[in-house]
Amino acid sequence: MKNSYSATIVFDPKGSDGSTDEMIPKLSEIIVSAEGDVQKVESQGSHDFAYPQKGKLKTGVYLQFELLGDSDFPARLKDKLRLEKKVDRILIERK
């Protein structure tokens, strides 16, 4: 049985591959490789962090994904997203 999840992924917009148009397909591939299905993607735009970490990013681009996957899917997805250098923050919630 597949569960419904909402994932908010924040990435660093700096660099050559930092545009939202380039990151959505890249992140979608990672989600599919973690055995998940992408239902909907919505760009939330660029926002400043309320509590930036010292020496790190002060702003990030937020993407909201609606996903389907099994109960182990969130853990697999987080592991794969941690390997992506552009991804700064990950929040996955079951709906």
Beta strands in 1-95 (DSSP E): 3-11, 37-48, 59-69, 87-94
Whose structure tokens read 């545009």? 19
User: Looking at residue 57, what is its pLDDT?
Assistant: 83
Q: What is d(CA 94, CA 28) in angstroms, rounded to the nearest whole number?
A: 18
CA dihedral 39, 29, 31, 25 (to 10 degrees): -50
Using one digit for the tens of pLDDT, what is the confidence trace for 18-40?
688 889 999 999 999 999 999 99
- Check residue 17 and give its pLDDT: 66
**How many distinct structural domains can be found in the chain?**
1
Q: What are the residue ranges in the chain where pLDDT is below 70?
A: 16-18
CATH of the domain at 87: 3.30.70.60
Domain encompassing residue 31: 3-94
pLDDT of residue 18: 65
Point out which residues pair with 65 in neighbouring strands: 7, 41
